């Protein structure tokens, strides 16, 4: 089995799973079918990007999540004004 990668989130070292079984296990159950489909459908030239995407999805990043929430709220407000 592959050794997990390491990264820092808010100054705390966290493991980043880097194998298909480990990434799948780290995902919420409701996201696993989408992950399975993405991996199954990926071509040789796409699999690295697919794996990076899902690896990053399982690493909690409160700053990124807060930014995405703010952008979504801004978009909702913009649409409401239109």
pLDDT, tens only, 10-37 = 787 888 888 999 999 999 999 999 999 9
Amino acid 1: pLDDT: 58
What is the three-class DSSP state of 18? coil
Other beta carbons less than 10 A from residue 57's beta carbon: 15
Q: How far apart are CA 9 and CA 12, in angstroms?
A: 5
Q: Which of 14-18, 57-61, 66-70 has the lowest mean pLDDT?
A: 66-70
Sign of CA dihedral 16, 60, 48, 51: positive
Q: Residue 60: name the closest of 4, 24, 18, 7 by CA.
A: 7
Amino acid 20: pLDDT: 92
Domain of 12?
5-81
Query: In the chain, which ranges are continuous DSSP H helix?
Result: 20-26, 29-41, 47-57, 62-81
- The number of folded domains in the chain is 1
């Amino acid at each position: 089995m592959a050794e997990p990668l390491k990264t820092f989130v808010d100054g705390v070292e966290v493991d980043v799973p880097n194998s298909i079984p480990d990434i799948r296990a780290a995902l919420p159950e409701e996201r696993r079918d989408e992950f399975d489909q993405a991996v199954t459908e990926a071509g040789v030239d796409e699999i690295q990007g697919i794996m990076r995407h899902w690896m990053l999805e399982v690493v909690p990043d409160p700053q990124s999540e807060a930014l995405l929430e703010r952008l979504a709220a801004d978009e909702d407000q913009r649409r409401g004004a239109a």
